[in-house]
């Protein structure tokens, strides 16, 4: 249990709803354009709640024997995919939770799922291989074996997929079955995020550093001095700010001007234990962070990466995942005890939102 | 999270065919009330009967700085990172490595990765050795000697296939390589489960409670004889021998069981650390003191033993009785009294294997600053070759004993219990490859106050 005292939502966080799932909640996301909230627990239970009230819509258990590892909701929000230790991927319908298609990828754990932005492709990482399927579960592409287990995948544009593993990031044109680029660096890459334009590649490394590359110029840089491995990375929607964390602190690098090389990053110190989830709002420069201590904080950032907290709430236990509602008017956090919290985030008027920009 | 809440992890290493899977199955099938999760790197030929078994390919991740102690096992980080979310399903983890695995990165993973070290604690490293083949394997591969070097427990398996003599020789070879390990002989990997699980081998408080010393010590004496003597006057007679003098400690009420002999050896060891009083022939030998018998005269020399009431006298002598043809004679009857029991002790000797243990044991206090400088330099220069370090230290001015341990260059030191009335001393064991014992001992001696 966390050491901090429970507290009521503060600042821009307001009471919303809470619910429970059966086990440690590891994945969550909004579907049906924010009308529905789906939570996956580590044992393979999947639960869909009404976005406004928290009323359960459907639930199912044991979706993956051995346990659930990943979940990804389609950008249109009507279908979602889950994967697990059983080596399977299930593509399901959000309305009833029915399985549309099961993909059997063999024995290895299926640890990562990512829909392309246009929703035409689903990328799947299992052990050393990466697969791409379409929405209806037809196989479109398979990679060769990577040198090690693939640790992160993300789409750089609609046909191009980036994969990270020990020692390198690779960009694949999955339509023409081509390797577009290889960025090599000796280190175990544990996380990867791309800027929204796909130019900046940021990776957290096991040796407590963040390495990034600019694809357009080929320049790369290493940001060292993290107290722990930076497992959590998030870009804001403009690609100016990269929030990173490998400890209870959040370090924000600003890519404005010539930065971040040679600049001082912004530092946010709001938690007493390491960050366990980190996400920028869909629009604007708000970053939400959840910690092992159960606290959730939203901070409003300036261009230099520094900023102030605008709200905080207590999720009760280690925050397994957080998710902004598509309109950024609510934030959800799920925890290690299986508790789901959704807080309303004070509605920003147009006038207010101009203030952010 | 305190160490009690963390899930203990045992690493099981050993060459292919040494019996790891048999041992694993034995552990899993025994009624011990533990729910064990198994991470298996070597799979295929024999299945695991039950339990939560996860297969993972060994992935050794070196860091860009090239530092060997930062090298970790990516597969373990991934699997354990997921397992920690399922803690209600198990309360113990066993990691079975491949026969060719380097135990260093496996152990380091539990210290280097914050996420892992916050939830799991390395309980111990158990290495299985095939008694019939290990001699050849040690000659052929670095991995097998490293697995021996890292072990907290060595299970000498398949002893039924090897003669007792060969086993003794092998055990002594393994003991030379790793002097802090416990060696257990087994047939068909049949060992009591408590000898391989819950060792708390990395929890120094626990080890020191169980075993006050890390070492199977090398004593400064080679021989002990226990004599059952009635009241009266006796002479200790020595002929000419290899040295013009010999150290000795005589203890009254010396028991004859192995345990009593070891207790006596422990007491004598402390007495040996004190300066010896020289004794000329013809004088009476005091009990419970370190003395140095002067033996440079020609011919027989005799020293007096006075016995007031019947007792058993233990003589702990620097050399064996044989070397000086040493005898105890009852003076009035001029009759030799043979010893009831004799015991030979491990004396310091040359080590053949590249991998070996170096033990440093010194009474007194060390200067913390000097020690830090020395250890810092030693580990930065030799950290690659030093596999394990364990020990305790007496810092001047600090009422508590400082215990420490290391894996390669990773090193932790923490204050332990108060010394109280105990004689302050230092004990360090280094296990590594091609270590220079003399240089290290001299280096340590310079840190003493």
pLDDT tens for residues A220-252?
999 998 999 999 999 999 999 999 999 999 999
Amino acid B347: pLDDT: 57
Q: Return the structure tokens found at A212.
A: 């990034």
Confidence of residue A353 (pLDDT cuts 50, 70, 90): very low
Q: Choosing among B80, B87, B111, B114, which should be mutated to test the A contact, i.e. which has the most A CBs within 10 A?
A: B114
How many percent of chain A have pLDDT more than 70? 96
pLDDT at A356 over 50: no
pLDDT tens digit sequence for A53-64: 999 999 999 999
Please check the confidence at residue A292 and state whether its pLDDT lies above 70. Answer: yes
Give the three-state DSSP class for B400: strand
Dihedral of CA B256/B261/B267/B268: which sign? Answer: positive
User: Which pLDDT band holds residue A120 (cuts at 50, 70, 90)?
Assistant: very high
Q: Is residue A217 scored above 60 in pLDDT?
A: yes
Query: Looking at per-residue confidence, does A179 or B200 come out higher?
Result: A179
- Of the pLDDT bands very low, low, confident and very high (cuts 50, 70, 90), residue A279 is very high
From chain B, pick out residues whose CB is under 8 angstroms from the CB of A148.
59, 61, 74
Residue of A nearest to B67 (CA): A207
Residue among B77, B145, B154 at smallest CA distance from B116? B77
Residues 362-401 of B with CB under 8 A from A: none
Name residues of chain B where pLDDT drops below 50: 1, 45, 349-350
Facing residue for A207 by CB, picked from B64, B78, B114: B64
Residue A355 pLDDT: 42
Residue B422's alpha-carbon distances to A335, B268, B400, in angstroms, are 50, 15, 11
In eight-state DSSP terms, residue B232 is E
Residues sharing a CB contact under 8 Å with residue B211, sequence separation 6 or more, in sequence order? none
pLDDT tier at A317, thresholds 50, 70, 90: very high
Q: What DSSP letter does each residue of B139-200 carry, written as one string?
A: HH-HHHHHHHHH-SEEEEE-GGGS-HHHHHHHHHHHHHH-TT-EEEE-STT---GGGTSS--
Tell me what the mean pLDDT of segment A269-293 comes to.
96
Mean pLDDT of the A66-91 span = 96
Q: Within an 8 Å CB–CB cutoff, is residue B57 touching chain A?
A: yes
Question: Of A24, A149, A228, which has the smallest distance from its Cβ to B74's Cβ?
Answer: A149
Q: Do A186 and B62 touch (CB under 8 A)?
A: yes
Residue given tokens 């051995």 in the structure block: A66
Work out the number of other CB atoms within 10 angstroms of the CB of residue B258: 10
pLDDT, position B181: 85
List CB contacts (< 8 A) between A85 and chain B: 54, 82
CA atoms within 13 A on the CB side of A69: 28
Residue A307 banded pLDDT, cuts 50, 70, 90: very high
**CA-wise closest residue to B290 among B341, B259, B334, B250:** B250
Q: How far B116 CA sits from the closest chain A CA (Å)?
A: 11
- Write down the pLDDT at residue B49: 53
Query: Distance between CA atoms of A54 and A38, rounded to whole angstroms?
Result: 10
Are the Cβ atoms of B65 and A207 closer than 8 angstroms?
Answer: yes
Angle, to 10 degrees, between the axis of helix B103-112 and the axis of helix B142-150?
40
> How far away is chain B from the Cα of A130, in angstroms, using its nearest Cα?
17
Q: How far apart are CA B449 and CA B442, in angstroms?
A: 13
Q: Which residues 87-116 of B have a C-beta within 8 angstroms of A?
A: 113-115
d(CA B421, CA B401): 12
Q: Would the pLDDT of A284 be above 90?
A: yes
A286-291 vs A275-280, strand pairing mode: antiparallel
- Pick from B59, B62, B86: CB nearest A149: B59
> A192, A203 in Cβ contact below 8 A?
yes
Interface contact flag, A43 B86, Cβ < 8 Å = yes
Whether residue A214 contacts residue A202, with contact meaning beta carbons closer than 8 Å, is answered with no
CB contact under 8 A, B113 and A229: yes
Contact B64 A206 (CB under 8 A): no
Of residues B354, B356, B264, B363, the one with CA closest to residue B316: B264
SS3 at position B98: coil
On whether the CB atoms of residues B155 and B17 are closer than 8 A, the answer is no
Q: Kindly provide the ipTM of the predicted complex, given to two decimals.
A: 0.89
Examine the pLDDT at A146 and tell me if it is beyond 80. yes
**Can you give the pLDDT at residue B206?**
57
Chain B contact set for A2 (CB, 8 A): none
Q: What is the pLDDT of residues A100-109, one digit of tens each?
A: 999 999 989 9
Compare all CA atoms of chain B with the CA of A319 and give the residue at the minimum distance.
Answer: B85
**Residue-wise pLDDT tens digits, A4-43:** 889 999 999 999 999 999 999 999 999 999 999 999 999 9
- Looking at the complex, report in whole angstroms how far the Cα of residue B69 sits from the nearest Cα belonging to chain A: 11
pLDDT of residue B208: 55
Question: Exposure of B253 by Cβ count < 10 A (0-12 exposed, 13-18 middle, 19+ buried)?
Answer: exposed
- Phi and psi at residue B204, to the nearest 5°: -65, -30
Q: What is the pLDDT of residue A37?
A: 98
Chain A touched by B75 (CB under 8 Å):
yes
């Amino acid at each position: 249990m966390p050491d901090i005292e429970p507290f009521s939502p503060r600042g821009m966080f307001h009471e919303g709803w809470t619910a429970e799932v059966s086990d440690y909640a590891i994945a969550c996301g909004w579907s049906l354009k924010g009308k529905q909230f789906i939570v996956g627990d580590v044992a393979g239970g999947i639960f869909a709640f009404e976005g406004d009230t928290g009323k359960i819509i459907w639930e199912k258990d044991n979706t993956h024997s051995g346990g659930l590892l990943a979940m990804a909701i389609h950008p249109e929000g009507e279908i979602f995919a889950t994967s697990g230790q059983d080596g399977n991927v299930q593509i399901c319908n959000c309305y009833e939770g029915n399985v549309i298609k099961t993909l059997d990828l063999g024995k290895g754990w299926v640890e990562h799922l990512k829909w392309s932005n246009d929703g035409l492709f689903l990328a799947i990482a299992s052990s050393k291989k990466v697969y791409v399927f379409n929405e209806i579960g037809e196989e479109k592409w398979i990679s060769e074996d990577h040198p090690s287990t693939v640790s992160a995948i993300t789409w750089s544009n609609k046909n191009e997929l980036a994969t990270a593993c020990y020692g390198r990031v690779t960009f694949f044109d999955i339509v023409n079955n081509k390797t577009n680029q290889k960025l090599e660096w000796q280190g175990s890459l544990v996380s990867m995020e791309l800027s929204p334009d796909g130019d900046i590649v940021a990776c957290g490394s096991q040796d407590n550093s963040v390495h990034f590359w600019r694809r357009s110029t080929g320049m790369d840089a290493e940001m060292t001095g993290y107290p722990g491995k930076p497992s959590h990375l998030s870009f804001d929607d403009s690609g100016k700010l990269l929030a990173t964390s490998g400890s209870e602190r959040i370090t924000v690098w600003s890519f404005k001007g010539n930065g971040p090389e040679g600049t001082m990053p912004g530092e946010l110190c709001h938690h007493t234990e390491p960050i366990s989830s980190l996400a920028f709002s869909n629009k604007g420069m708000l970053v939400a962070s959840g910690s092992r201590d159960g606290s959730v904080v939203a901070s409003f950032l300036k261009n230099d990466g520094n900023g102030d907290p605008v709200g905080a709430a207590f999720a009760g236990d280690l925050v397994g995942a957080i998710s902004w509602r598509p309109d950024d008017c609510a934030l959800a956090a799920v925890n290690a005890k299986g508790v789901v919290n959704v807080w309303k985030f004070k509605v920003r008027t147009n006038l207010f939102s101009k203030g952010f920009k | 999270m305190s160490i009690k809440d963390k899930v203990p992890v045992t690493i099981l290493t050993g060459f292919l065919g040494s019996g790891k899977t048999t041992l694993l199955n034995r552990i899993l099938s025994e009624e011990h009330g533990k729910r064990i999760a198994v991470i298996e790197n070597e799979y295929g030929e024999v299945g695991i009967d039950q339990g939560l078994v996860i297969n993972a390919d060994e992935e050794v991740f070196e860091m860009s700085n090239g530092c060997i102690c930062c090298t970790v096992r990516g597969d373990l980080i991934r699997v354990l990172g997921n397992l920690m979310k399922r803690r209600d399903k198990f309360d113990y983890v066993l990691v079975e490595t491949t026969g060719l695995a380097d135990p260093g990165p496996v152990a380091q993973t539990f210290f280097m990765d914050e996420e892992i070290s916050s939830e799991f604690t390395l309980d111990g490293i158990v290495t299985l050795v095939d008694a019939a083949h290990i001699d050849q394997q040690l000659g052929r591969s670095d991995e097998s000697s490293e697995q021996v070097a890292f072990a907290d427990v060595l299970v000498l398996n398949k002893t039924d296939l090897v003669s007792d003599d060969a086993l003794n020789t092998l055990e002594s070879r393994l003991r030379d390589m790793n002097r802090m390990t416990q060696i257990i002989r087994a047939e068909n990997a049949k060992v009591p489960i408590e000898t391989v699980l819950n060792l708390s081998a990395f929890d120094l408080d626990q080890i020191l409670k169980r075993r006050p010393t890390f070492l199977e010590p090398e004593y400064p004496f080679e021989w002990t004889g226990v004599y059952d003597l009635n009241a009266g006057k006796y002479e200790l007679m020595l002929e000419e021998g290899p040295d013009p003098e010999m150290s000795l400690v005589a203890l009254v009420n010396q028991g004859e069981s192995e345990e009593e002999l070891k207790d006596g050896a422990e007491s004598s060891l402390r007495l040996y650390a004190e300066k010896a009083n020289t004794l000329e022939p013809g004088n009476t030998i005091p009990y419970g003191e370190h003395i140095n018998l002067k033996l440079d005269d020609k011919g027989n020399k005799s020293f007096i033993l006075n016995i007031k009431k019947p007792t058993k006298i233990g003589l702990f002598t620097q050399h064996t009785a044989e070397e000086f043809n040493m005898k105890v004679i009852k003076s009035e009857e001029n009759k030799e009294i043979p010893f009831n029991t004799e015991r030979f002790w491990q004396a310091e000797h040359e080590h053949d294997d590249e991998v070996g243990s170096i033990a440093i044991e010194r009474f007194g206090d060390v200067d913390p600053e000097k020690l830090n400088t020395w250890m810092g330099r030693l580990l930065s220069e030799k950290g690659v070759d030093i596999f394990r370090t364990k020990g305790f230290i007496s810092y001047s001015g600090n009422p508590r004993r400082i215990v420490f341990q290391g894996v390669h260059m990773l090193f932790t030191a923490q204050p332990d219990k108060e010394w109280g009335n105990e004689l302050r001393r230092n004990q360090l064991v280094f296990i590594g490859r091609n270590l220079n014992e003399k240089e290290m001992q001299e280096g340590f001696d310079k840190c003493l106050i």
